[in-house]
Structure 1
Amino acid sequence: MRPFRRTRPSTPARRARTAAAALVALALAAGLGTQATASSVSPSPAAGAATVQQWEVAGLSTAAERTALSRTGTAIDEVRADSVVITASAADVRRLRALGYELSALPGTAATDIRPHAPSDYHTYAAAVAEINAVRAAHPSLVTTRVIGRSYQGRDIIAVKISDNAATDENEPEVLFTHNQHAREHLTVEMALRTLSVLTSGYGTNARITELLNTREVWLIPSVNPDGKVYDQESGSFRSWRKNRQPTPGSSSVGTDLNRNWAYRWGCCGGSSGSAGSETYRGPSAESATETRVVADFVRGRVIGGQQQITAHIDFHTYGELVLWPYGYTYNRTGPGLTADDAAAFEALGRQMAGTNGYTPQQSSDLYITDGSINDWLWANQGIFSYTFEMYPRSAGGGGFYPPGSVIARETARNDAAVLLLLEYADCVYRITGRQNTYC
């Protein structure tokens, strides 16, 4: 295959954050204490999860304040105007209250409360694989599948290719969609199946989809974290499990947060935890998680003739109804390898996609600092325009990580237009800001 040729700038430009915000962040971090941040997180049991539910943490209205909470090893589920929502065990609650945080339980969010939202509302891992195989059999010229590696527990991690000549590696821009990095986010697997259905059923009947599949190659990875998905879903009730299922050496804890394990600015900036019991545990080293390494190797394998063929990407998560873009490790709009022109293109396309689905568009760090994320790695390391979509619901009141099955069709269809928009700009994202003659 001849490589799909494109260029992007490499000279960084920086925009400094205000001194006041920086001082707030430093003061908050200092007030928590580095020793408490590193070691006081309660461990995750090896065989099962402690009883958890969602809690609202009051008095957090800025990114710096939310980042300070995150630095305690707490995973933030939802950002509100002056508070956040977290999932926590009783031990977590005691620890955070001891640090001075004000928490109140959200009713109806414990595992026993979400049982009516049955795990059977969502495809199991095996059922999703079966549906993918059925679509491939129905559309053999449009769909191929490839096992790109196996999870820690030995389950297949599958990449699905969709294009007019799917069996041929053509000289066309490629787009990647990833799903289910976090185990409990089952709606994202449904999103993968929706995209597969829309593209295959639309080819030959919908002129827009037909043209896109004639000129693009689409990759779907429906479940990056199949072990975690199975563990969270298939015991009869949901467990609110986030991480993978890989044991941590020297610890009784299980699991790494896959979206803190990528090999760019890993562990750099207080946006992940070094404690194995934390929900945002980054692992002992970058790409230490089996599943992260499998997907990273797949992406690196799409470099042909020295050129990365994947040009654009969405990583689907739940929840919050957000469209996010890099960088997550810094509050600055620009940074090394992310120029003002890059940032403008990210923002313009992000806002247009959000205009189709009603999500809120923003830079990832506007929420709070994260490091070792897939978006930052794909852009900085591979030059791929990478977004995160946080899907339905907007708040815990809509079901949090476990909305009822009755909303699946509506909420996956809600992203159809955004998916097609990303595909249309995959040949040159800089077209959206009129800079295509400079970069494409």
Structure 2
Amino acid sequence: MRPRIPGGRTTVLAALLSLALAAPIAAAQAQGAPPHGSVAGAAPDAERPHQYEVTGPATAAARTALAATGASIDEVHARAVVITADRAQAAAVRRLGHTLRRLPDPPVAPPAAPGARAKDFPPGYTGYHTYAEATKEIDALVAKYPALLSKQVIGTSHEGRNLLALKLSKNVSKDENEPEVLFTAHQHAREHLTVEMALYLLNELTSKYGSDARVTKLLDSREIWIIPDLNPDGGAYDIASGNFRSWRKNRQPNQGTSQVGTDLNRNWDFKWGCCDGSSGNPADETYRGASAASAPEVQVVSKFVRSRIVGGTQQIKAAIDFHTYSELVLWPFGFTDDDTGPGMTQDEHDTFATIGKKMAATNGYTPEQSSDLYITDGAIDDYLWGDQRIFAYTFEMYPSSFGSGGFYPRDSVISKQTSRNREAVLQLLDLADCPYRAIGKQNQYCKGR
């Protein structure tokens, strides 16, 4: 995920809440009690990653240095950052001169019956879909709306789970000459709300066709692709114990080490590992993998995106990759802090920014260029634009802060927080025929289309 920089009052409240939540943890540790969130039989507490509030980093450069420790930056305030880090990464952050305060671990479920093997979300979260439940719902929608929705298996994950691409369009069985838009979700395992976002779009766009004039017009004139789960292995692992593991990466072993997992959103084959925006250490949260697109899930989706080049032209014109949390709309580039870095003109930057700000005005998110927060490399939106010329955005969904649920908001928020993005999605779909309409230059760039 990526962080946000909220206003002063929100910052103070979030900081106070973080301090208040952290106090019981510190007290428990001082007394030798296991921290909230410890799981019997799990790895020793010191070996598991935890979230920390880090005071001090106040600039993009300072946050980039913080990310270089291999910790993931989860949230940013004016003078504080929330990170996920293991013991070694936390020590590296302290060596940078920062103060860390441990935050509570994810909620713990009641003990399971003896011999039971939990593979579902814990109580209070069962409204979220497991991989099997999501697949079942998708299959039911395909059966219900066969003229509008089709399913393709575009490949498999490391552990052999199917990676799906769902197509929505009026004549779904035909490959028509219509602008295409791609929505992807769940690159990071613990970001389960993004799968719900994908399912919401599938349900909303199919069920409203024929009754909602705007939805009908868009499905009549667009081809929409939804990849609802890029990281099913990591998602399953995150909940497999019956408690959240705060797992981020995929589940691909790293040869020559005991470490598991690659950060999929640092593994894309554009500016991979170029700019101190990822880690080369397999133990780190932001490990970029052994080579560009070394993760099977990234390979599958990259191949699918390239398959949409027809007659030498990429048919996908725009995209959103959904993440949590921090309530942000982000656009490329992440690998450079230049507004118009290599591979982007001023008009292209202005188009990105204008569309991003208009979408953010509908959902209340904060719009900004990715690198305004800190440098990342090998990210999907940089790849989609830099390699494929797709106007690609990252949405960091609800909540805005750790204090409001962080990576694990209760299932009661699903409906509100997915529908919150409806208007932004429809806006992007509408502009897909010529994104440059956003800056009034359609005649210059899209004439004759």
> Could you say what secondary structure the match of 1:229 adopts?
helix
Which residue number in structure 2 is paired with residue 78 of structure 1? 75
> Aligned match of 1:205 in 204, 211, 219?
211
Question: How do 1:161-172 residues align onto structure 2 when only pairs under 5 Å count?
Answer: 161-172=167-178
Identical counterparts, % of pairs:
59
Residue-by-residue CA offset, 1:47-86 (whole Å, 9 max, x unaligned)? 9694333110101111111001011111101111111101
User: May I ask how many residue pairs the two structures share in their alignment?
Assistant: 393
> Aligned match of 1:262 in 248, 261, 268?
268
Name the CA distance, whole Å, in 1 between partners of 2:260 and 2:161.
17
Q: Is the 8 A contact 1:161 1:218 kept in 2?
A: yes
> Could you say what secondary structure the match of 2:50 adopts?
strand
1:109 and 2:105 matched: yes
Name the CA distance, whole Å, in 2 between partners of 1:284 and 1:93.
24
1:64 and 2:70 matched: no
Residue 99 of structure 1 and its aligned partner are, at CA, apart by: 3.5
Which residue number in structure 2 is paired with residue 407 of structure 1? 413
Residue 129 of structure 1 and its aligned partner are, at CA, apart by: 0.5
Q: Is the 8 A contact 2:269 2:383 kept in 1?
A: yes
Structure ranking higher on relative contact order (CA contacts 8 Å, 6+ apart): 1
Residue 337 of structure 1 and its aligned partner are, at CA, apart by: 1.7
Question: How do 1:23-422 residues align onto structure 2 when only pairs under 5 Å count?
Answer: 50-106=47-103, 108-110=104-106, 112=108, 118-422=124-428
Structure 2: 5+ residue stretches without partners: 1-41, 111-120
Residue-by-residue CA offset, 1:242-282 (whole Å, 9 max, x unaligned)? 00000011111000000000011100000000001000000
Name the CA distance, whole Å, in 1 between partners of 2:127 and 2:58.
35
The 3 A distance-change label for structure 1 pair 183 and 82 is same
Residue 118 of structure 1 and its aligned partner are, at CA, apart by: 4.4
**Which TM-score applies when normalising by structure 2?**
0.85
> Could you say what secondary structure the match of 1:427 adopts?
coil
Which residue number in structure 1 is paired with residue 444 of structure 2? 438
* Cα RMSD, aligned residues only: 1.6
Name the CA distance, whole Å, in 2 between partners of 1:176 and 1:319.
20
Q: Is the 8 A contact 2:181 2:317 kept in 1?
A: yes
Letter of the structure 2 residue corresponding to residue 423 of structure 1: L
Residue 316 of structure 1 and its aligned partner are, at CA, apart by: 0.1
> Could you say what secondary structure the match of 1:324 adopts?
strand
Structure 1: 5+ residue stretches without partners: 1-46
Q: Is the 8 A contact 2:69 2:92 kept in 1?
A: no
Residue 110 of structure 1 and its aligned partner are, at CA, apart by: 4.3
Name the CA distance, whole Å, in 1 between partners of 2:168 and 2:223.
6
Structure 1 range deviating more: 167-176 or 90-99: 90-99
**Which TM-score applies when normalising by structure 1?**
0.87
Name the CA distance, whole Å, in 2 between partners of 1:437 and 1:62.
40
Residue 204 of structure 1 and its aligned partner are, at CA, apart by: 0.2
Name the CA distance, whole Å, in 2 between partners of 1:111 and 1:253.
25
Q: Is the 8 A contact 1:337 1:380 kept in 2?
A: yes
